[in-house]
Amino acid sequence: MASTMPVWTSASPRAALLVALLCLAAVGISPPAAGFSVASLEQRFANGLLVVDGRIDYSLTATATEALESGVDLVISQRLSLDRPRWWWRDVEVVGQERRYRLAYHAMSRRYVLNRLASGESRSYRSLDALLTRLGTIEAWPVIGRDRLDDQQTYRLRFETELDVDALPRLLRTVAWASADWQLRSEPQTLEVRP
Amino acid sequence: MSGLPRQAIVRILLSVLLILSLYLLSAATENSSRFGRLYLWLLLINGVVLVVLSGLIINNLQRLVRSLRARETGSRLTLRLMALFVVLAVLPGLVVYGFSMQFLQRGVDSWFDVRVENALEDALALSQASLDQRMRDMQQRLEEAARDLADVSQEMAPITLGDLRARTGASELTLIGENGRIIAASSMDTDSILPNRPEESILLQLRQGRPYVGLDPIENAGLHIRALVRAPGPDGPGNTRILQGLFQVSPRINDLADEVETAFSEYRELAYLRGPLKDSFILTLSLVLLVSLLFAVWSAFYLARRLVAPVSRLAEGTRAMAAGEYGTQLPPAGNDELGFLVRSFNDMSRRVADVRDAARQSQTLVESQRAYLETVLGRLSSGVLALGPDGTLRTYNQAAVDILSVPLHEGTGQPLSALVQRFPDFSPFVEQIDAHQHEAEGEWRAELSLDTREGRRSLICSGALLPGEGEGGGEVIVFDDVTTLIQAQRDAAWGEVARRLAHEIRNPLTPIQLSAERLQHKVGNRLSGDEAALLQRATETIIHQVEAMKEMVQAFSEYARPPVLQLQRVDFNALVQEVVELYRGQAAQASIRTDLDDQLPWLEADPGRLRQLLNNLIRNALEADAGGACEIVVSTRRRSGRHAGGVELDIEDNGPGFADAMLDQLFEPYVSTKPRGSGLGLAIVKKIVEEHNGSISARNVEGGARLSVRLPTGENGQ
């Protein structure tokens, strides 16, 4: 930026201003480094299946926790995909799976409820930490049958998780889009898979 | 003008776009499910617009400040208009904004009531309290069941658990070992194979000896009471097992609790969302207001400049007019009063330029007429002088300078009398003019003689008043040099007289002489003594006198005879030297000094006639009655100026000079003041000079008289 600035100013101060503004805006809405992070991610083959184990540190911001305790449901998605890299074109996505969980606070029982949206499976926890720990534990997530993988090929496993802002109540959504407190997502984690 | 200027169209388009984006922004605020992520982009775009507008405004402000510093025309008016527009736009906007904010805050807050909130919380607390009692009952039942399990071994546990479940009315009973492993479980719901495991923290609490009872919302199964108690095994209190029981809440209570929970949860959520709601409304409102205001301010710059432009152009045009740039045309400025003003200015400017052009044209005309007149005057042989009303010299022509022999250019703008002081010869002319001027008559004519450096001249002057008052008035004097005319008339008359005289007198002279000689011859011998002597004397007298008369007549006839010149190249200085030498020896009492110009050109002349001329002139000078030692200066010089190329011969004596009355007739025959001489000397001199196309003049100088002979050179003077 610093090296390009003089060029911009000599060319057109207004253009430079615009660029600086866009940069500022980009910085303003970029997610914070902390929040969700993938602590470990491992792949193994078990019973002819490629399965993934992992541990994710979920840590909600104070804003998100307050919203949760005020009755706002949060949705966290975990997305796992297996890609076949191609040097000459975009990678091929062999498998793409997503797990979505709804986090809610049950005021009557004073418990936190974790609900897996696809299966409707639900568990309640006495503390948010317990819930997040459970959420952050991935045990044997089946990805694909080994027979469907090419032995000669190297695959790339990719995992990311984020708070789904679009699933927030509409009033909160507008604020959430502009607020860093709501931009909770992990850096994408990748693993090389050789069958 | 063809409609609106392009900039205005661009601004209108921009404002429409802006309004559209602001509308979308507010729509997104209202209904984010439809616009979703668009809201963020709209926010960003509007933010960018905000910054761009701010930049434009700052740029405009800088321009304004710069033009104010440079004191450009119209900058102060622009500032005032700007300030006016900004105040008009910003103040009401801010007032509306303030009120809107207040309404927004109060309006949103008024939806929420503290009493409602308290009531809901109380309802929740009531529900919890009513369930608390039931929870304690369940815990008691479970503790009793645990005591029944004390003697039951692991193998027997599933059967006992089934009985106990039926007895206690639990929906599920689970026996958990020390290590957290499930020993046995009995469930009312036969579909689910896996028992509902408690979480680790509860197990930890149990191991520490504290029982647990709590509510647990189980999906699709409603609210349950989960209770965990220690259940000592048959192996003794060291090996402690844990009994967990899940009890269904009665459907009625379950429904009620669910409703309370839902209402409470929704109210809490709404209350929580109040903040974001206000924030997004405030953000949208502020953005809309800020963008609108900045757009208004930016447009105010444009409008102010647009309004001021014709005015500042007018000011500049006026300044240009004041500086003499007539004909300045300003671009048209619409159909309003300003446009009318600009059109009027353009008309005025054009007319002024037309008038100036006409004035310039007439000035050129006057100057060309003046040049024409000057050319005409310059070609006139008559001298012309124009005097101003106060008698100062205004205009003259070359002929006037030649005739008067006075450098008139030195006296331009001054009265003629100023020239008289330096050129005294000029005074008779001036006196004549003054005399007539003082008489203040219309036209006058006069003759006068003027003793100029070039010789005595006869002038005929006429004067007339010029028309016009003040600067335009004055007098014009026209005069002619008639010296040569008068001279020619006289010469012609004298020529005729001489010819006749010669003819009439010479004829009888020979018979008279012959008769006298015959008388002497015939009678003289017969007489004697005194008579003979008398006769002798008488006849001799007759013969001598006749001889003299013959000579006189001869001289006359020579005077009248047409010239027969034998022209050849003559070194005039040598000729002068030669003649002067003759007189040096002869006239002992006279001293003749020569002052000859070395650069004298050769003359194409008759040397015999020139010698005669010199003789006559020197003799004339010698004959001047000096009353003492006669001093003669003979000088030659090459002529300069108007007569450049000619030769001038001056002979000055120290005699008494010519009588004033004689000056006009000096060169006529038989005009002499001298006791001796034929009276033809100067007449012959003049004749010889005229034969050589020269001129002669005489004037009195200090301590004597001077005769000046001017002879032209031959072909080219060399």
* Banded pLDDT at B4 (limits 50, 70, 90): low
Domain region containing B533:
488-560
- Within a domain: residue B255? no
* pLDDT band, residue A14 (cuts 50/70/90): very low
**Contact predicate B409/B389, CB 8 Å:** no
The CA distance from B276 to B614, in Å, is 138
Q: Give the pLDDT band of residue B640 (cuts 50, 70, 90).
A: confident
Section B298-319 average pLDDT: 84
- Are B48 and A106 a contacting pair at CB < 8 A? no
Rounded Cα distance, B298 and B233, in Å:
86
Which has the minimum average pLDDT: A13-22, A181-190, B99-108, B651-660?
A13-22
Q: CATH number of the domain that B644 lies in? A: 3.30.565.10
Residue with tokens 């409008």, as numbered in its chain: B303
CB atoms within 10 A of CB B616: 20
Note whether A27 contacts B: Cβ–Cβ < 8 A: no
pLDDT digits (tens, 9 = 90+) for B125-177: 998 888 898 899 999 988 888 888 888 887 888 888 888 888 888 888 888 88
Q: What is the pLDDT of residue A105?
A: 93
pLDDT at B353 over 60: yes
Whether the pLDDT of residue A136 is over 90: the answer is yes
Host H or E run for residue B459: strand B455-465
Cβ–Cβ contact B2 with A under 8 A? no
Flag whether residue B204 sits within 8 Å of chain A, measured between CB atoms. Answer: no
**Of B428, B453, B481, which one is at a domain's C-terminal end?**
B481
Per-residue pLDDT of B663-701, as tens digits, reads: 777 787 777 666 655 677 888 888 888 888 888 888 888
Task: Say if B349 falls within a structural domain.
Answer: no
Q: At a CB cut-off of 8 Å and minimum separation 6, what does B290 contact?
A: B50
Q: What is the token pair recorded at B373? A: 């007149």
pLDDT number for residue B589 = 66
Chain A, nearest residue to B256 by Cα: A108
State if pTM tops 0.90: no
Helix crossing, B251-322 with B337-379: angle to 10°? 20
In a domain, residue B163? The reply is yes
Weakest-pLDDT range from B396-405, B583-592, B635-644 = B583-592
- What is residue A40's predicted lDDT score, i.e. its pLDDT? 93
- Contact between A171 and B273 using a beta-carbon 8 Å cutoff: yes
Is residue B337 in some structural domain? no
Q: Given a cut of 50, is residue B439 above it in pLDDT?
A: yes
Q: Domain boundary residue among B319, B338, B361?
A: B319
Cα–Cα distance for residue pair A46/A32, rounded to 1 Å: 36
The answer to whether A24 faces chain B, any CB pair under 8 Å, is no
Provide CB contacts within 8 A for A1, sequence distance 6+: A23
Option in A105, A108, A111 nearest B260 (CB) = A108
Q: How far is B121 from chain A (nearest CA, A)?
A: 10
**Nearest chain B CA: its distance from A72 CA (Å):** 6
Q: Which of B655, B652, B622, B608 is nearest to B634 (CA)?
A: B652
Residues contacting residue B429 through CB under 8 Å, at least 6 positions apart = B404, B416, B448, B450, B459, B461, B479
pLDDT digits (tens, 9 = 90+) for B274-293: 887 787 788 878 888 888 88
Check if the beta carbon of residue B110 is closer than 8 Å to that of residue B198.
no
Contact A144, A181 (CB under 8 A): no
Whichever domain contains B472, its CATH number is 3.30.450.20
Please identify which residue in the block is written with the tokens 């004390």.
B150
> Is residue B194 less than 8 Å (CB to CB) from chain A?
no
pLDDT of B30 reads 66
Task: Say if residue B409's pLDDT is above 90.
Answer: no
Q: How confident is the model at residue B358 (pLDDT cuts 50, 70, 90)?
A: very high
Instruction: Convert the pLDDT of each residue in A117-131 to its tens digit.
Output: 988 888 889 899 999
Are B451 and B524 contained in the same domain? no
- Among the residue ranges B154-163, B174-183, B316-325, B624-633, the one predicted with the least confidence is B624-633
pLDDT surpassing 50 at residue B716: no
Highest mean pLDDT of the ranges B51-65, B415-429, B517-531: B51-65
Query: Is B193's pLDDT higher than 80?
Result: no
| Inside any domain, residue B19 | yes
Q: What is the pLDDT of residue A17?
A: 45
If asked whether residues B499 and B547 sit together in one domain, one would say yes
Residue A121 to residue B219, Cβ atoms within 8 A? yes
| Dist CA A33 CA B664 (whole Å) | 133
**pLDDT score for B317:** 87
DSSP string covering B255-302, please?
A: HHHHHHHHHHHHHHHHHHHHHHHHHHHHHHHHHHHHHHHHHHHHHHHH
Q: Are residues B384 and B405 in the same domain?
A: yes
Give every CB contact of residue B460 below 8 A, 6+ residues apart in sequence. Answer: B445, B446, B447, B479, B480, B482
In this complex, which of A71, A109, A174 lies closest to B28 when CB atoms are compared? A174
ipTM of the complex model: 0.73
Q: How far is B120 from chain A (nearest CA, A)?
A: 11
Number of A–B residue contacts, CB under 8 Å: 118
| Interface membership of A130 toward B (CB under 8 Å) | yes
Let me know whether B608 and B652 are in one domain.
yes
Does residue B304 sit within a domain? Answer: yes
Assess if residue B510 is contained within a domain: yes
- B453 with B582, same domain? no
The reply to whether B218 and B302 lie within a common domain is no
Give the domains, in start order, of chain A with CATH numbers.
1-30 (no CATH), 33-193 (2.60.40)
pLDDT of residue A97: 94
The more confidently predicted of residues A5 and B464 is: B464
B141 and B236 share a domain? Answer: yes
Are B59 and B77 members of one domain?
A: yes
Co-location of B585 and B667 in the same domain: yes
Does residue B560 have a pLDDT over 90?
Answer: no
Task: Quickly state the pLDDT bin for B330 (edges 50, 70, 90).
Answer: confident
> Can you tell me the mean pLDDT for A45-51?
91
Q: How far is B224 from chain A (nearest CA, A)?
A: 10
* Cβ-defined contacts of B337-344 (< 8 Å, 24+): B338/B307, B338/B310, B338/B311, B339/B310, B341/B310, B341/B314, B342/B310, B342/B313, B342/B314
User: Average pLDDT in the A5-31 region?
Assistant: 44
| Same domain membership, residue B442 and residue B534 | no
Interface touch A17/B55, C-beta < 8 Å? yes
- List chain B residues with CB under 8 Å of A177: 37, 39-40
Task: Encode pLDDT of B442-489 as tens digits.
Answer: 788 888 888 777 777 888 888 888 877 666 678 888 988 888 888 788
Question: B112 touching A, CB under 8 A?
Answer: no
B390 and B273 together in one domain: no
Q: In this complex, is the C-beta atom of B31 within 8 Å of any C-beta atom belonging to chain A?
A: yes
Angle B574-B575-B576 from CA coordinates, rounded to 5°: 90
Residue B640 lies in a domain: yes
Where is the domain boundary, B528, B560, B592? B560
β-strand pairing of B630-638 with B590-595: parallel
Put simply, the answer to whether B52 touches A172 (Cβ < 8 Å) is no
A170–B55 C-beta distance less than 8 A: no
- Are B574 and B694 found together in one domain? yes
pLDDT mean over B374-394: 85
pLDDT number for residue A75: 95
B327 phi and psi angles, rounded to 5 deg: 90, 5
Into how many domains does chain B fold?
Answer: 5
